[in-house]
Amino acid sequence: MVKTAFSILAVTAAAGIALTPVAASAATAGPAVLAYSSSPSASDPNTTVTFTVTVGALSLTAPDTVNLGSGAPGTTITGLLGGGAPGPSVVVTDDRALLAASWIATASASSWTTGSGTPAETIPVTDVGYSVGPITTTGTITATATNRPAGTAAGDLSGAPQAVVTGTAGVGDNTAGWDPAISVAVPAFAVGGIYTGTLTQSVS
- The answer to whether the beta carbons of residues 59 and 105 sit under 8 Å apart is no
Contact call for residues 101 and 167 (beta carbons, < 8 A): yes
Q: Is residue 170 a contact partner of residue 102, using CB atoms and an 8 Å limit? A: yes
What pLDDT, on the 0 to 100 scale, is given for residue 42?
82
| pLDDT for res 11 | 39
Asked whether residue 8 is domain-assigned, the answer is: no
Residue 141: Cβ within 10 Å count: 22
Q: In this predicted structure, what is the pLDDT of residue 6?
A: 31
Q: Is residue 27 part of a domain?
A: no
**Is the predicted pLDDT of residue 129 greater than 50, yes or no?**
yes
Closest CA relative to residue 71, chosen from 155, 198, 183: 183
Residue 29's pLDDT band (boundaries 50, 70, 90)?
Answer: low
Q: Average pLDDT, stretch 129-145?
A: 98
How many domains does one find in the chain?
1
Say whether pLDDT at 24 is over 60: no
**Average pLDDT for the chain:** 86
Structural domain includes residue 49: no
| pLDDT at residue 15 in the model | 45
Q: Identify the domain containing residue 62 by its residue range.
A: 58-203
Q: Does residue 50 fall inside a structural domain?
A: no
Residue 161 carries which side chain, given as an amino acid letter?
P
Over 60: is that where the pLDDT of 33 sits? no
pLDDT recorded at residue 39: 73
Give me the amino acid identity at 7. Answer: S
In a domain, 40, yes or no: no
Are the C-beta atoms of residues 164 and 129 closer than 8 Å to each other? no
Instruction: Report the pLDDT averaged over residues 94-109.
Output: 98
Report the distance separating Cα 133 and Cα 183, nearest Å: 13
pLDDT of residue 189: 93
Does residue 10 form part of some domain?
no
Q: Flag whether 67 is in a domain.
A: yes
25 compared with 184, residue with greater pLDDT: 184
Q: What are phi and psi of 2, to 5 degrees?
A: -65, -45
Lowest-pLDDT range, 13-27, 43-57, 70-84?
13-27
The confidence score (pLDDT) of residue 36 equals 56
Q: What does R_g of the chain's alpha carbons equal in angstroms?
A: 40
The reply to whether 34 falls in a domain is no
Is the pTM higher than 0.85? no
In the sheet with 128-131, reading across from the earlier edge strand, the strands are 76-80, 181-185, 128-131
